[in-house]
């Protein structure tokens, strides 16, 4: 139920699916070990995503020196046909690439806000950012996502979205 959203969040930070899956497994094990500490004051999803986000940032710190986003997120070769682009699968693929090319905090904030439908207060709890930072990340994230999509697809296809 939560695993795909949690994977998307981990991917926003780590920009690599295999690494994100490993971190997600580690996070689920932490959840299993610490389930007794869960207080039903907050939602389970908020608690789970907080663990996923913290584990991902810790992993990112460890790997930062060896990781390069351009190595992990490949720009697609060639032009995309309009018919292909209308498929949801293809659109998702390009949105994922665009999000992966963006700043980590912005991509994470966008995913939490739109995908997980979290409020700014909940995003604050999960990420540990201040309210102002969340708002800035969302604002910049929206325009940067648009910019990255235009860079990947061109103006014509971006307008089709």
Interface with another protein (CB under 8 A): 3-5, 7-8, 11, 17, 20-21, 24-25, 28-29, 32-33, 88, 91-92, 95-96, 99, 110-111, 114-115, 117, 142, 145-146, 149, 158, 161
Nearer to another protein, 15 or 57 (CB): 15
Structure tokens at 100: 């992966």
* Nearest distance, CB of residue 143 and another protein, angstroms: 9
Structure tokens at 25: 């497994």
Nearer to another protein, 32 or 65 (CB): 32
Give the Å distances, CA to CA, from 106 to 98, 111, 138.
Answer: 12, 9, 6
Nearer to another protein, 18 or 65 (CB): 18
User: Any residues with CB less than 8 A from the CB of 65 and at least 6 apart, and which?
Assistant: none
Three-class DSSP category at 2: coil
């Amino acid at each position: 139920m939560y695993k795909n959203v949690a994977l998307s969040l981990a991917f926003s930070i780590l920009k690599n699916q295999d690494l994100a899956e490993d971190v997600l497994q580690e996070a689920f094990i932490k959840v299993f070990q610490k389930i007794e500490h869960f207080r039903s004051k907050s939602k389970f999803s908020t608690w789970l995503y907080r663990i996923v986000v913290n584990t991902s940032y810790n992993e990112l710190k460890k790997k930062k020196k060896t990781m390069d986003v351009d190595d992990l997120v490949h720009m697609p070769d060639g032009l995309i046909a309009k018919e292909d682009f209308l498929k949801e699968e293809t659109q998702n693929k390009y949105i994922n690439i665009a999000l992966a090319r963006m700043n980590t905090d912005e991509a994470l904030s966008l995913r939490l806000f739109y995908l997980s439908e979290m409020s700014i207060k909940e995003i604050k709890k999960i990420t540990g950012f201040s309210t102002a930072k969340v708002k800035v990340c969302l604002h910049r994230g929206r325009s940067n996502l648009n910019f990255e999509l235009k860079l990947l697809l061109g103006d014509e296809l971006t307008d089709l979205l």
